Amino acid sequence: MNRREAGIDSLFSSRYCGAMILKLPFCSLFRAVIFFSAIEITLSATPKATADVPPPMATSRAAKSGLALAFTENFNGPNGENLGVGWTQAAHYGVVNEQILHHRLYFRIPSGHDIPWGSATLDLANPSILGHGLHPGDYFEVTLRRQSQEGGLGVELFDSDQLRVGSDLVRGASALMAWNGITWVPIAFDKKGTPLKFDWNTRHIIGVRFDSADGHRANFSYYLDGRYVGSWPVNRPETVLDKIGVYTQSKTSNAKFEFHDVKVYTRTRS
């Protein structure tokens, strides 16, 4: 679901359901109270930002301490649409062009009419990449930059369009956002609780540390340019992160983005 659809659907649903409850007889009203109580419990279980207190590893350097550089992707293959071994591409709601050019992965969205998004996913379990996924304590990072005035870009986990963290679509500086199952919310805040904003037309390094997983929920910490900025838990049964990726999305035409220097750090395992 894209940002525009989520916002409209949530707003319409809440207003419509509220109006309908007022028209219900007592018995139906009692059932409605139970129904909305269940919804409240469900929403309270959705992931929330936990960026108020930095973890012990407050820098990416500390997060990578004790890990070994296990894989690097510099997109050294020939220029063209083939991203190389281990990579798959996807696009929805419109055309998203992806290509390698001069050791960079470029995305271009010709038309933003339906707010299309595109992604590139790396299968870490591929024998030519790592041969296994990431475990708690492991880390990866990617350098990215928005080349157009508007559009969103960021990183993706588990090959899921519901597990993305990145910029907003708007022009100028914007917050680091995550999808919470209903809408996009900021996850990086200053000491006063105000969302931090970043210039996405400047190159940044987004780092992700796999903090923990218990078979029900997995926790991840995010770093920007070497500094911890926020954490984000996701409801997933996996205890190993086997696919990582990048994504872009835009509501304006001719949006352009670039990615490079994908690096994966892991503990030495026998």
pLDDT at 219: 95
Instruction: Quickly tell me which residue has 């509220």 as its tokens.
Output: 18
Please determine, for residue 242, whether its predicted confidence score (pLDDT) is greater than 90: yes
* 143 confidence band (pLDDT: 50, 70, 90): very high
pLDDT at 268: 83
* 270 confidence band (pLDDT: 50, 70, 90): low
Does residue 57 or residue 124 have the better pLDDT?
124
Please determine, for residue 104, whether its predicted confidence score (pLDDT) is greater than 70: yes
* 55 confidence band (pLDDT: 50, 70, 90): low
Kindly state the tokens that stand for 218. Answer: 């997995």
Does residue 46 or residue 102 have the better pLDDT?
102
Least confident window among 49-53, 125-129, 163-167, 207-211: 49-53
pLDDT at 142: 98
Phi, psi torsion values for 13, nearest 5 degrees: -60, -45
pLDDT at 48: 43
Does residue 65 or residue 47 have the better pLDDT?
65
List, for residues 1-29, the tens digit of each pLDDT value. Answer: 444 444 433 433 333 334 433 344 444 43
* 184 confidence band (pLDDT: 50, 70, 90): very high
Which whole number is the average pLDDT over 227-236? 93
Q: Are 20 and 192 in contact (CB under 8 A)?
A: no
pLDDT at 181: 84
Please determine, for residue 35, whether its predicted confidence score (pLDDT) is greater than 70: no
Q: Are 200 and 190 in contact (CB under 8 A)?
A: no
Helix pair angle (26-44, 3-22), 10° resolution: 150
Which whole number is the average pLDDT over 40-66? 61
List, for residues 217-228, the tens digit of each pLDDT value. Answer: 999 999 999 999
* 250 confidence band (pLDDT: 50, 70, 90): very high
125 vs 244: CA distance, rounded Å: 11
Please determine, for residue 50, whether its predicted confidence score (pLDDT) is greater than 50: no
Count CA atoms closer than 13 A to 246's CA, side-chain side: 29
pLDDT, mean over the chain = 84
Phi, psi torsion values for 124, nearest 5 degrees: -65, -25
Please determine, for residue 30, whether its predicted confidence score (pLDDT) is greater than 50: no
